[in-house]
């Protein structure tokens, strides 16, 4: 279930950002940098009514925080995957060690009466 959660979160953050940017008025969209659309300096733009600039600043800040949380979530998923891989490797090493010890014990039990 957690495997399904990360892609859904990523898709929702991306779609939320795209939808928000597509619905921006032209006066705001004209100040966007296509490579970093959430890093906008609204103080350089004009034509806002009272409170409108603050509204957009809060909206952009909220979207940035969503992206930060999303990036932390995806990094955590990578860490968990790496941890699982390491656990499988440790279990395999323990199984090999146990098998080798069993073989050594069998040789000792078999050859001890002859040379003991």
pLDDT in tens, 17-30: 778 888 888 888 87
What residues does each domain of the chain span?
2-115
pLDDT in tens, 66-115: 888 877 766 666 666 777 788 889 999 999 999 999 999 998 888 877 77
Confidence grade of residue 11 (pLDDT, cut at 50, 70, 90):
low
CB neighbour list of residue 31: distance below 8 Å, 6 or more residues apart: 40, 41, 42, 44, 45
Q: So what's the pLDDT on residue 5?
A: 46
Residue 67: closest CA among 29, 20, 107, 1: 20
- Give the whole-angstrom CA distance, residue 78 versus residue 49: 45
Q: pTM for the full model?
A: 0.51
CB neighbour list of residue 116: distance below 8 Å, 6 or more residues apart: none
- Give the whole-angstrom CA distance, residue 108 versus residue 26: 84
- Give the whole-angstrom CA distance, residue 29 versus residue 18: 12
- Determine the number of helices (DSSP H) and then strands (DSSP E) in the chain: 3, 0
């Amino acid at each position: 279930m957690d495997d399904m959660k990360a892609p859904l979160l990523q898709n929702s953050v991306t779609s939320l950002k795209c939808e928000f940017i597509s619905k921006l008025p032209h006066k705001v969209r004209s100040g966007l940098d296509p490579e970093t659309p959430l890093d906008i300096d609204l103080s350089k733009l004009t034509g806002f009514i009272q409170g409108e600039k603050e509204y957009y600043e809060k909206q952009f800040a909220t979207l940035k925080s969503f992206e930060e949380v999303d990036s932390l979530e995806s990094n955590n998923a990578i860490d968990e995957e790496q941890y699982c891989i390491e656990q499988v490797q440790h279990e395999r090493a323990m199984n090999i060690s146990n098998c080798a010890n069993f073989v050594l014990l069998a040789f000792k039990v078999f050859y001890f009466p002859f040379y003991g």
